[in-house]
Amino acid sequence: MVKQVQIGKTDLYVNPIGLGTNAVGGHNIYPNLSEETGKEVVRTALKSGINFLDTAYIYGPERSEELIGEVLKEQGNREKVVIATKGAHKFVDGKIVIDNSPAFLKESVDNSLKRLQTDYIDLFYIHFPDEKTPKDEAVGALKELKDAGKIKAIGVSNFSIEQLKEANKDGYVDVLQSEYNLFKRAVEDQLLPYTADTGISFIPYFPLAAGLLGGKYTKNTTFNDGRAKNPLFQGEAFERNLQKVEQIREIANEKGAETAHVVLAWYLTRDSIDVLIPGAKRPDQVSNNLKTLDVHLTNEEIEKISRIFK
C-alpha cells in the first residue's frame, strides 16, 4: 500500500502519483480521442491506487469533467477520490476569454459540480489570471465557497510571483500549479522558495517536457505537431537536450528503471512538491507512471541530475 502524502497544508491526502486528465475527453487538445478509452484510463487509475485526478473546464471543453463524473458515479466511491478541477475560461462571441471575477468563479464551481456529479470539489484552481480582477478578491470568492463546503482547497495556476503574493494576501492559497520541468526551471528562482516558505503545495505540469524527458526520442525523430515549433526540439538545441536525457538514462539503467521514472522521482525530492500529475492516453501508461514510486534517488544522484540541466 502506497503511503499517502498531505497536499501542503490542506486536509487532502493522496498517492504521490496522480493522474492528469487532459487526454480524457480533451477533444480540443488531442484529435481522435476515444471517450471509452479515456474512461478506462480513469478506472485503471482508481483501481491501481491513484486517488488524485486533475481536470479542468477547458479540457473538452467540459467533456473531461463529464467523463470523470460518469466513472465516479458508476464506481460509487466518491469519498475516496480527490478531484482537482480548474476554471477561468469562457466563450464570448466564439472567442475564449479569461475571467477571474468572483461571480464567474462561483458560477464555474457550480457548473463543474454538475458535470462531475458531485456536491463538493476537493481542489478548485483559478486556471489562468485575468488582467483586471484583484487576485485577493478572486481568491476571496473561493474562500466563501470553501466556507460553504462546495470546495475543500483553493488553488491558482499560471500565476506570476507578484500575482501569487497578491492572491495569497490573506493566506488562503493552498496550491500553485505551474509549468516546471528540468528544461524549464525559472520557478526555482522565486515561486518555489515562496511556496516552500508559505506551506503552499506546488504541482508541476508538463513535467516530461512534451515527452522529451521520457527518453523515447532520437535525433532522427520528426514532429508534425506543436513540438515542431518548440525551441527544445529544434536543431542543435534538440541534439544537446537529447545528450542530457541520455545521462539520465544511464542513472535509470543502473536502477532498472525508465528515464521518465527517474525524472519524475527527482521532482518529488523538491521542496513543496508533494504530488505529480503525469497524463495518460492509455490504461497501461497509468500503471507505468506508478513505477516512479519504486525509484529512490541518492543525494549524489539528485545533485547530478540538477547539474546536468543547470
To 10 degrees, the CA torsion angle through 247, 292, 128, 169? Answer: -100
DSSP calls for 181-207: BTTB-GGGTTHHHHHHHHT-EEEEEST
Report the run of H or E that residue 108 belongs to, with start and end. helix 102-116
Angle in degrees, 0-180, between the axes of helices 299-308 and 259-267, rounded to the nearest 10? 100
Q: How far apart are CA 203 and CA 175, in angstroms?
A: 7
Is residue 217 flagged as an active site residue? no
Q: How far apart are CA 163 and CA 89, in angstroms?
A: 18
- Inter-residue contact 67 to 59 (CB < 8 Å): no
C-alpha cell at 259: 528515464
**13, 30, 57, 59: which one is catalytic?**
59
Report the run of H or E that residue 138 belongs to, with start and end. helix 135-147
Map residue 253 onto helix, strand or coil: helix
Map residue 172 onto helix, strand or coil: coil
Task: For residue 52, give the amino acid letter.
Answer: F
The residues carrying an active-site annotation are: 59
